[in-house]
A = this chain, B = another copy of it.
């Protein structure tokens, strides 16, 4: 199963083609160009971003090619273009394109190039929209997932449930894939499980529970024990229900739980909020769970899907404890899963109130990234034929850093990253133990000497025109994200008032930026 049949050079804004034609027409399509793909600010009011989508981006570049059929369509859209342009377009590929980037899953920051794309102007321009599509949302949702992981806490499980609210089929797949990369533990999306090997989770919905209205709808009163014997089950359940003093629990719900346990005796997890969580759902669950246990099985737990999750989880845990001690069963640590419109803020609020939830199921707010549904990654020209290019703006944050750059992550004496330093290509790189002046790219007053205890070159060549870098598996990249998260100072990552991580430039790059800025920025004339 491959969803990449959509990722073709036609998955593109039309203006990339009109520009390519105009470059070609003016003989500039072969000019050597450098584009930076970068973000201008971190999402969700935070101070970090998880870089994701790289493997898909490189696969796209590797396979970049327009078919006859594609060309025919472009010709119909540009009916007045010279025929020779289409000959060039037909031959267009990425064999002269080079791409440099940090590893997928790296924690990154505004202004740092996420991709540096070098090569013929006409081709590099055509890559813009597709690369942005392949990086923007994956990085956004991976960051959202990582933030939720931080909010939930290390020992909590996180399940992605967002397929029904995603932007169509592939929106759902992309969300599942990159939520997992960002630190989620499993998904409900079967196709994502099959396609990417992501662990799957799922049990039952309210529809299943409300299908049943009485115990008469249970066709069999028995269950098969782990060693293969048929044993009476329904009467055991009713017996435990009586002992639990829960004979007023909803009978249809009880029937549904029995039917579900008969189908999944090894993985019995019940949705307990269809009628009344504490008076019906949890007691019904416990009656069935005790019967399962007496038949030799280990029940899994419950899912709460409405109401005050902190309160309900604590009350549920309390019922688990009481049953544990009264019936001498190991039910104290049964799993409590919670879902229902959970977002990052809810996770923090729950943590503050105290709760007994083990696993969170998160859908809508994860996949739509409701708190900020788009990452504003951009793709800007920084050099043509060796000449720097700058995009000027009255807003400093919108100004680009001109020219071809390398980025070094400088590590402090405790092993924590302290700044990302951009230097011009060709400059002497920063050295371990040697003091270097790091400057804010735009604010003259912000500068500091830094003596790094370690130095990491952030970018590597991931596509050299012929070969793509080898990518770790999704599982390995997920682990890399978790490692990145623990390798940073937690104050950069926290929810409230996080400390900004500094992105700086060398003295030489600082001067270079400001020379070009002075030269290019028109002086206002007031009348």
Contact = CB atoms under 8 A, between A and B. Distances in A.
Interface in A185-238: 188-191, 193-194, 200-208, 210-211, 213, 217-220
A379 B250 CA distance: 22
Interface stretch (A8-16, A88-96, A471-479): A8-16
Contacts of A25: 259, 262-263
A138 interface: yes
A12 B163 contact: yes
A263 B173 contact: no
Interface string A255-278: 000011011101000000011100
Contacts of A200: 14, 77
Contact of A26 (B24, B138, B218): B218
A311 interface: no
Interface in A387-401: 387, 389-393
B262 A189 contact: no
Given A13-B189, A263-B26, A202 B522 contact: no
Nearest to A306: B393
Given A275-B522, A522-B280, A19 B207 contact: yes
A14 B201 contact: yes
Residue among A33, A137, A201 with the highest chain B CB neighbour number at 10 A: A137
Interface string A51-81: 0000000000000000000000110010011
Nearest to A364: B374
A174 B164 contact: no
A190 B13 contact: yes
Given A3-B6, A129-B163, A202 B74 contact: no
Contact of A174 (B167, B189, B193, B522): B167
Contact of A170 (B128, B136, B169, B219): B169
Contact of A167 (B16, B166, B263, B393): B166
Contacts of A33: 211
A379 B188 CA distance: 17
Contacts of A384: 211
Given A133-B164, A167-B170, A168-B137, A217 B28 contact: yes
Contacts of A250: 522
A369 interface: yes
A15 B369 CA distance: 23
Contact of A207 (B125, B170, B171): B125
A329 interface: no
A335 interface: no
Tell me the number of copies of this protein: 2
A416 interface: no
A163 B217 CA distance: 51
Given A22-B263, A266-B80, A522-B276, A207 B380 contact: yes
Contacts of A376: 165, 364
A336 to B, nearest CB: 17
Contact of A168 (B14, B35, B174, B369): B174
B3 A169 contact: yes
A17 interface: yes
Nearest to A189: B13
Contact of A217 (B26, B210, B381, B390): B26
A267 to B, nearest CB: 8
A388 B266 CA distance: 32
Nearest to A208: B19
9 contacts: A6-B170, A11-B173, A15-B203, A22-B260, A132-B163, A133-B169, A134-B169, A168-B171, A370-B374
Interface of A: 1, 3, 5-8, 10-19, 21-28, 31, 33, 35, 73-74, 77, 80-81, 121, 125, 128-129, 132-134, 136-138, 141, 161, 163-175, 188-191, 193-194, 200-208, 210-211, 213, 217-220, 250, 259-260, 262-264, 266, 274-276, 279-280, 306, 364, 367-370, 373-377, 379-381, 384, 387, 389-393, 522
Top 3 closest pairs, chain A to chain B, by CB: A170-B170, A14-B202, A167-B171
Given A11-B169, A18-B202, A134-B169, 17 more contacts: A13-B190, A14-B190, A14-B193, A16-B202, A26-B217, A74-B190, A128-B164, A129-B164, A137-B168, A168-B171, A170-B171, A171-B171, A171-B174, A206-B380, A207-B380, A210-B390, A364-B374
